[in-house]
Amino acid sequence: MKKFIYGLVLGLIIAFPLGINFGKDVPLFSNPFAAKPDITERVKERTGELLEDTKEAIHDATKLTMDKLKN
């Protein structure tokens, strides 16, 4: 029973920080108590990435039509 308690405590000590990092989507062995970037900054960053991807997709979709109009 003593080994079980030690194993349980050791498992909690190891699994708790790893679970926090996994939930925050950061590297597992980083500091689990570090402040996560502000949600508004993350939204701005991802919105910018989405806009760039959308611009590229529209450019690729219209490229064939523009080439046909030039010829």
pLDDT tens readout for residues 37-69: 677 888 888 999 999 999 999 999 888 888 888
Identify the pLDDT of residue 68: 81
Identify the pLDDT of residue 6: 93
Provide the domain count of the chain.
Answer: 2
Identify the pLDDT of residue 36: 66
Identify the pLDDT of residue 28: 81
CA-CA distance, 63 to 67, in Å (whole number)? Answer: 6
Tell me, yes or no, whether 64 and 44 share the same domain. Answer: yes
What residues have CB less than 8 Å from 21, skipping those under 6 apart? 27, 28, 29, 30, 32
Tell me, yes or no, whether 2 and 23 share the same domain. Answer: yes
Q: Mean pLDDT across the chain, nearest whole number?
A: 87
Tell me, yes or no, whether 25 and 47 share the same domain. Answer: no
**Domain span at residue 2?**
1-34
Tell me, yes or no, whether 29 and 43 share the same domain. Answer: no
Tell me, yes or no, whether 24 and 43 share the same domain. Answer: no
How far is residue 56 CA from its own chain's centroid? 22
